[in-house]
Chains A and B, each alone.
Chain A
Amino acid sequence: MKSLAELEAIRQKTLNRINLRQEKEGEVTRVVIGMATCGIAAGARPVMLAFMDEISKRNLSHVTVSQTGCIGMCRLEPMVDVIVPGQEKVTYVHMTPEKVGRVVAEHIVNGRPVEEYTIGAAEK
């Protein structure tokens, strides 16, 4: 037998787990990782796993992590797009698992992109 509070806890926990099945455009922050052969070779998978880990630790149920094919700028891989609803897409380059924590904390949680990791900074 579950109390009302326990049921509510199950709801929240499960929702975090399955919310990616709801197609709610405009509410979801998307993290998109370049994962073609070049991306994987450059170490995209550890970066993706680090994102998943961080998101799961912080219980960020409005964030989805997905992959995309080659973005065409192999020398900048691993590349990650972060798309916060209502803001412009931000592309991070040369990502490493170590950089992920700041991107999640500053950009995804607080809405301030980490300028120094972005493609803009790399191209300068």
Chain B
Amino acid sequence: MDIYRAHVLCCGGTGCSSSGSAQLIQRFEEKIKENGLDKEVKVIRTGCFGLCEAGPVVIVYPEGTFYSRVKVEDVDEIVSEHLLKGRKVQHLVYSDHATHEQNANKALADINFYKHQHRIALRNCGVIDPENIDEYLAFDGYKALEKALTTMTREQVIEEILKSGLRGRGGGGFPTGLKWKFAAASQADQKYVACNADEGDPGAFMDRSVLEGDPHAVLEAMAIAGYAIGASEGYIYVRAEYPIAVKRLEIAIGQARDYGLLGKNIFETGFDFDIQIRLGAGAFVCGEETALMRSIEGKRGEPTPRPPFPAVKGLFAKPTMLNNVETYANVAQIILNGADWFAAMGTEKSKGTKVFALGGKINNTGLVEVPMGTPLRTIIYDIGGGIPNGKKFKAVQTGGPSGGCLPAELLDTPVDYDNLIAAGSMMGSGGMIVMDEDNCMVDIARFFLDFTVDESCGKCAPCRIGTRRMLEILERIVNGKGEEGDIEKLENLAKTIKATALCGLGQTAPNPVLSTIKFFRHEYEAHIRDKKCPAHHCQALLNYVIDPEKCRGCTACARVCPGGAISGTVKQPHSIDPAKCLKCGACMEKCRFGAISKV
């Protein structure tokens, strides 16, 4: 047995890779060798740890020391001090935003960011080497497949998933067990299992992290699903913009085949199952189930009417069962630990945990997995570390382009499918964008609608034309040309589109507008009636002014102004000509006396 006394885990997720973790790994390997430690210390490239904001992240075991923002230059010090002499390099140890606590002896699980989390779907991310099937095996990998195939009937597997209360993590929240049951009940000579790894929501990267950090978890679950519904082939539809995820999936599939965990006669039970990867070009609508299946078939990725539902007539007109990556990532654990274990977590109707991609105006940008029912406040303040720069929280957007914005009054909402819908938003796939006082809610609505207008496939009129009309109205409003009655027009269009669009994209596209009207109607009214943007964000509705009381006449502003809009003589108060001002903000940044403000 080869043992190593220390393991250096370097994050190889997309976030840390973009901040240079590959060079770090190389440097570690060189330095460790140079110091003659290569028989004692092993370097492992893992998937995302979740704290991408602090990346590149390096963890040294057995101590569990968490180093953040490690640069190539820092590697020498970690090797010569920590790995050679056992002295932790204090100044590189991660420090908590909220508390500024920096404690090298603290276990990872005690860091605020991790303390409130409960990792099921992400349990192996940042713990194992995703390119080594043995490490997945060591943490109970493929034991659930073994259990299902050798000790359970198909019906028992479906029953277990049904009883666990697992619901689809791709946005719809449909009970997973029920979906499996329908697909199992369909009679056909061929059936398919598919995995939705299209992940189109702006800012979302939950599924990418699972694929990058623990690809076998998805393969194992798909094989279990194949057994349950009677399918021998599986497809993973993943966006081509996820090269690391695709590569790790390919490696994982190859290793699983080598070990006989995919292929013919798995565990000598007579069950055959294999998986292929299909790359998507990154159109948002291709995440919709019927469009996704058309795209796998090599056709245009456009939705088709349901019924027939995929469980009856899906891929290549055969019964097909599609689940999201994160949904699958829970399956093996449910089979191993039992439905009751899973159902004990979460709320009445939403069981287990959910992964969120925290982003926007928040200190700890990253991936978090929490039990269903965790209040928004806990996620944003305790785990996310609150809002940077002492700004005030304004809203949190959940559910991506299909979801809505919730205001501060609703921060105590426990997060689950039903509570979020009741509050006026939705769970969606897990994007969570935090907004502060500087965000204009009308502009946020415009941003999301702009996204859907771009991504609409154009097949049906309500979505193609209706969302464009709504976008035009919103653009008018943020440009100071809003008219009385615009809010009502938006509401009417929204109602029609929701009722008549063909697919989920169109049906949910108006949600960001409706929820911002509901909670921030006064911002719309201020734009329309007073021609003011309360957040001082919309350029057309703001002016830069100099307060003559504070202005010392230093001329700094006049010198940077690209528009020649500032006039005044030395030591005399200056002023800005609104007709010439380009609203670039340069003067405000330059003024040392805080004399310039936006109104």
When the two chains form their complex, are residues B63 and A2 in contact, meaning their CB atoms are under 8 A apart?
Answer: no
CB within 8 A of B62: which of A7, A52, A66?
A66
When the two chains form their complex, are residues B3 and A17 in contact, meaning their CB atoms are under 8 A apart?
Answer: yes
When the two chains form their complex, are residues B134 and A2 in contact, meaning their CB atoms are under 8 A apart?
Answer: no
- A102 contacts chain B at the CB level, 8 A cutoff: no
- Determine, out of A34-42, A90-98, A103-111, A115-123, the stretch whose residues face the partner at the interface: A34-42
- Determine, out of B80-88, B236-244, B477-485, the stretch whose residues face the partner at the interface: B80-88
Rounded to whole Å, the gap between the CB of A70 and the closest CB of chain B is 9
A-B contact pairs, 5 of them (CB 8 A): A4-B267, A11-B138, A59-B1, A64-B5, A69-B85
- A124 contacts chain B at the CB level, 8 A cutoff: no
Residue of B nearest to A21 (CB): B61
When the two chains form their complex, are residues A20 and B62 in contact, meaning their CB atoms are under 8 A apart?
Answer: yes
What is the size, in residues, of chain B's interface with A at 8 Å between Cβ atoms? Answer: 37
When the two chains form their complex, are residues A21 and B5 in contact, meaning their CB atoms are under 8 A apart?
Answer: no
- A13 contacts chain B at the CB level, 8 A cutoff: yes
User: What B residues does A82 contact at CB under 8 A?
Assistant: none
When the two chains form their complex, are residues B3 and A16 in contact, meaning their CB atoms are under 8 A apart?
Answer: yes
Residue interface mask A1-39, B partner, CB < 8 A = 1: 110100100110111111011010100101011111100
List residues of B (73-104) whose CB comes within 8 Å of A's CBs. Answer: 84-87
Rounded to whole Å, the gap between the CB of B545 and the closest CB of chain A is 56
When the two chains form their complex, are residues B127 and A21 in contact, meaning their CB atoms are under 8 A apart?
Answer: yes
- B593 contacts chain A at the CB level, 8 A cutoff: no
When the two chains form their complex, are residues B85 and A65 in contact, meaning their CB atoms are under 8 A apart?
Answer: no
B residues with a Cβ closer than 8 A to A are: 1-7, 9, 40, 61-64, 84-87, 107-109, 127-128, 134-135, 137-142, 146, 150, 259-261, 263, 267
When the two chains form their complex, are residues A23 and B109 in contact, meaning their CB atoms are under 8 A apart?
Answer: yes
User: What B residues does A40 contact at CB under 8 A?
Assistant: 85
Q: How far is the CA of A48 from the CA of B6 in the complex (A)?
A: 12
Q: How far is the CA of A18 from the CA of B27 in the complex (A)?
A: 22
- A73 contacts chain B at the CB level, 8 A cutoff: no
Residue of B nearest to A58 (CB): B1
When the two chains form their complex, are residues A35 and B85 in contact, meaning their CB atoms are under 8 A apart?
Answer: yes
User: What A residues does B127 contact at CB under 8 A?
Assistant: 21
User: Provided the pairs A36-B85, A64-B62, A68-B86 are in contact, do residues A18 and B138 lie with their beta carbons within 8 angstroms?
Assistant: yes
User: What A residues does B134 contact at CB under 8 A?
Assistant: 10, 13-14
When the two chains form their complex, are residues A15 and B109 in contact, meaning their CB atoms are under 8 A apart?
Answer: no
Rounded to whole Å, the gap between the CB of B524 and the closest CB of chain A is 50
Residue of A nearest to B260 (CB): A1
When the two chains form their complex, are residues A23 and B85 in contact, meaning their CB atoms are under 8 A apart?
Answer: no
User: What B residues does A64 contact at CB under 8 A?
Assistant: 5, 62
Task: Give 5 nearest A-B pairs by CB, closest first.
Answer: A67-B86, A1-B260, A14-B138, A64-B62, A65-B5
User: Provided the pairs A21-B61, A23-B107 are in contact, do residues A69 and B86 lie with their beta carbons within 8 angstroms?
Assistant: yes
List residues of A (43-82) whose CB comes within 8 Å of B's CBs. Answer: 48-49, 52, 55-57, 59, 64-69
Residue of A nearest to B141 (CB): A11
When the two chains form their complex, are residues A52 and B7 in contact, meaning their CB atoms are under 8 A apart?
Answer: no
When the two chains form their complex, are residues A2 and B135 in contact, meaning their CB atoms are under 8 A apart?
Answer: no
User: What B residues does A2 contact at CB under 8 A?
Assistant: 259-261
User: What B residues does A30 contact at CB under 8 A?
Assistant: 62
User: What B residues does A16 contact at CB under 8 A?
Assistant: 1, 3
Rounded to whole Å, the gap between the CB of A58 and the closest CB of chain B is 9
Residue of A nearest to B129 (CB): A18
Residue of B nearest to A19 (CB): B138
Q: A1-B260, A11-B141, A37-B85 are in contact. List 14 more A-B contacts (CB 8 A).
A: A1-B263, A2-B261, A11-B140, A15-B138, A18-B128, A20-B6, A20-B61, A23-B107, A35-B86, A59-B1, A65-B62, A66-B63, A66-B86, A68-B87
